[in-house]
């Protein structure tokens, strides 16, 4: 009887939690969203929470009549509570912050377009925060698991929910405005890394020299012995056995850290592939100022190395990334690449700590393989030099005329061509790094900071207009085919 009474109290509390969730989901329906993904998710949540309400009532009646074993009621009630906590703690805040007033609208369509080119039929929910950080993950898989857990998978199917539902968190006020959104390319790299199982391919290429392992083992063993003597510990393990164990342990931790470094570098190279030189500019702005660029840890390689390898990927001589093979590259490099190249130099600087020195050497030895793997993952969908030459330069001219860079015209009298995000951002970086004085001269009575704000606003307007036109062109093309 006591147990039954406790269950009734628990179910009453669960009902109260449910009502809060019901009200929260209902309030989400009153908000406007720029992405279809948010609307689809709200529909799924509304139907799911309605079904849970009925099920909680059934459990409450079963507890009153003792018609269902207490253990079964406890298990199902706990499962429902887990779902409600997930809904209240993660999903509802994410959806609420994806509303039109909460995110920069100009980035929604291009993020969806670029992601869809790599992950067909995916959707994206975007949040913006003031933290200078970008984050990207597949939220759809977790949502699918949670709906399966409460036996509501049919709701997802009815609403055509896409399991490739990505959650993107971006910086609302990055250092260089909309130009820094090139970091989206790195975040997409994380999903490509998983999709292509790059960890299996690249981990087999990592090797640690025996000399490095022996030296590191001796350092660890000496440290352990010193600590044991200082503490007066009576325990003594044979030296040879200790060395074998420590070296076995070190190989595992070195490999784990090296693969984390490989993943970050791989994602940087994907970013270079998607956005070209503009990614290196955005990456350098975020990574290099006001920081010790040679610091590293178990998760992230030194920022100097990351920028160096991103530049190396761009300067290869092979097709695609190989910007260096084009005769006009030097003029482009002078504006977009050389400032960062001069800052980080071309010399590979090893970390000070012996452990990270060994990690660095193993990763640096396969740098070309990492670049090739990331490039192959894009399957030719990378930003080519010809687009810089034919599009970005023409868009830059529009910017310097004070016009939104949403379209360009190769020759007078020809049809205007709609620009995409990548070309606009490359044009924007060229103008920002080389021609801001010329842009400010268009507004002689405006302070410098105000001219910069208007510059970023012009780029945002160009991106939004261009993406709307691209979407319209695609819709028209499909209509013509049918």
pLDDT exceeds 80 at position 392? yes
Residue closest to 367 by CA, chosen among 210, 258, 286, 283: 258
CA 461 to CA 481: how far, in whole Å?
A: 30
Q: What was the pLDDT predicted at 412?
A: 83
pTM, entire model: 0.89
Three-state SS letters, 400-416: HCCCCCCEECCCCCCCC
Per-residue tokens: 370: 């990492």
Q: What is the dihedral of CA 437, 439, 443, 446, to 10 degrees?
A: -60
**Domain extents in the chain:** 2-173, 214-377, 385-481
Kindly state the percentage of the chain with pLDDT values over 90. 60
**pLDDT range class, residue 371, cuts 50, 70, 90:** very high
CA 232 to CA 7: how far, in whole Å?
A: 54
Q: What is the dihedral of CA 263, 266, 272, 278, to 10 degrees?
A: 20
* DSSP secondary structure string for all residues of 104-147: -GGGHHHHHHHHHHHSTT-EEEEEEESSS--EEEE-HHHHHHHH
Helix axis angle, 277-287 to 303-314, nearest 10° = 170
The pair phi, psi for residue 204, each rounded to 5°, is -70, -15
Give pLDDT tens digits for 166-192.
999 988 888 888 999 999 999 999 999
Q: What was the pLDDT predicted at 320?
A: 63
Q: What is the dihedral of CA 466, 472, 474, 478, to 10 degrees?
A: 180
Beta carbons within 10 angstroms of residue 9's beta carbon: 10
Q: In whole numbers, what is the pLDDT of the chain averaged over residues?
A: 89
**pLDDT range class, residue 238, cuts 50, 70, 90:** low
282 and 432 in contact (C-beta within 8 Å)?
A: no
C-alpha 90: how far from chain center: 18
pLDDT exceeds 70 at position 247? yes
The pair phi, psi for residue 171, each rounded to 5°, is -80, 125
Give pLDDT tens digits for 87-122.
999 999 999 999 988 888 888 889 999 999 999 989
What is the rounded radius of gyration, in angstroms, for the C-alpha atoms of the chain? 27
Q: Which of 238-242, 463-467, 477-481 has the lowest mean pLDDT?
A: 238-242
Beta carbons within 10 angstroms of residue 478's beta carbon: 9
Q: What was the pLDDT predicted at 291?
A: 78
CA 155 to CA 79: how far, in whole Å?
A: 17
pLDDT exceeds 80 at position 229? no
Q: How confident is the model over 254-277, as a mean pLDDT?
A: 96
CA 197 to CA 214: how far, in whole Å?
A: 31
Q: What was the pLDDT predicted at 237?
A: 53
* Residue the block writes with tokens 């299996």: 200
186 and 286 in contact (C-beta within 8 Å)?
A: no
User: Is the pLDDT higher at 458 or at 323?
Assistant: 458
Q: What was the pLDDT predicted at 3?
A: 55
Q: Beta 123-129 vs 135-138: how paired, if at all?
A: unpaired
Q: What was the pLDDT predicted at 273?
A: 94
Residue 311 Cα distances to 192, 302, 434, angstroms: 20, 15, 19
CA 277 to CA 324: how far, in whole Å?
A: 12
CA atoms 438, 439, 442, 443: torsion sign? negative
144 and 156 in contact (C-beta within 8 Å)?
A: yes
CA 84 to CA 52: how far, in whole Å?
A: 9
Kindly state the helix (H) or strand (E) to which residue 221 belongs, with its residue range: helix 210-231
């Amino acid at each position: 009887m006591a147990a039954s009474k406790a269950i009734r109290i628990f179910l009453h509390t669960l009902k109260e939690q449910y009502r809060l969730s019901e009200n929260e989901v209902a309030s989400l329906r009153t908000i406007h969203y720029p992405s279809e993904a948010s609307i689809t998710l709200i529909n799924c949540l509304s139907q799911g929470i309605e079904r849970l309400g009925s099920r909680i009532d059934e459990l409450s009646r079963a507890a009153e009549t003792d018609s269902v074993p207490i253990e079964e009621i406890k298990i199902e009630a706990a499962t429902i509570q887990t779902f409600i906590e997930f809904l209240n703690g993660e999903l509802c805040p994410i959806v609420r912050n994806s509303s039109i007033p909460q995110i920069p609208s100009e980035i929604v369509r291009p993020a969806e377009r670029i992601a869809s080119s790599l992950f067909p039929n995916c959707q994206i929910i975007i949040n913006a925060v003031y933290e200078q950080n970008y984050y990207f993950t597949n939220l759809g898989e977790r949502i699918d698991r949670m709906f399966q857990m409460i036996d509501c998978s049919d709701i997802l199917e009815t609403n055509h929910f896409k399991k490739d539902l990505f959650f993107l968190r971006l910086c609302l006020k990055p250092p260089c405005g909309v130009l820094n959104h090139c970091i989206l390319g790195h975040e997409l790299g994380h999903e490509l890394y998983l999709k292509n199982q790059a960890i299996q391919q690249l981990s087999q290429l990592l090797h640690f020299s025996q000399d490095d392992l022996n030296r590191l083992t001796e350092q660890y063993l000496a440290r352990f012995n010193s600590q044991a003597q200082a503490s007066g510990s009576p325990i003594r393990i044979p030296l040879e056995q200790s060395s074998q164990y420590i070296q076995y342990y070190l190989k595992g931790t070195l490999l784990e850290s090296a693969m984390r470094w490989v993943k970050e570098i791989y994602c940087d190279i994907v970013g270079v592939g998607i956005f070209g030189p503009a990614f290196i500019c955005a990456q350098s702005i975020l990574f290099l100022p006001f920081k010790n660029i040679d610091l590293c840890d178990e998760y992230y390689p030194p920022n100097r190395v990351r920028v160096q390898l991103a530049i190396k990927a761009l300067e290869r001589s092979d097709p695609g990334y190989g910007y260096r093979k084009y005769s006009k590259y030097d003029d482009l490099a002078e504006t977009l690449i050389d400032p960062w190249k001069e800052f980080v130099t071309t010399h590979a600087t090893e970390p000070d700590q012996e452990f990270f020195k060994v990690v660095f050497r193993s990763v640096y030895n396969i740098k070309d393989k990492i670049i090739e793997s990331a490039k192959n993952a894009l399957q030719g969908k990378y930003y080519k030099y010809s687009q810089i030459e034919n599009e970005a330069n023409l868009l830059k001219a529009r910017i310097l005329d004070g016009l939104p860079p949403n379209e360009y015209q190769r020759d007078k009298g020809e049809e205007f061509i709609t620009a995409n995000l990548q070309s606009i951002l490359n044009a924007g970086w060229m103008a920002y790094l080389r021609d801001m004085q010329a842009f400010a001269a268009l507004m002689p009575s405006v302070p410098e900071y105000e001219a910069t704000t208007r510059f970023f606003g012009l780029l945002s307007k160009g991106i939004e207009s261009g993406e709307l036109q691209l979407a319209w062109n695609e819709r028209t093309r499909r209509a013509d085919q049918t």
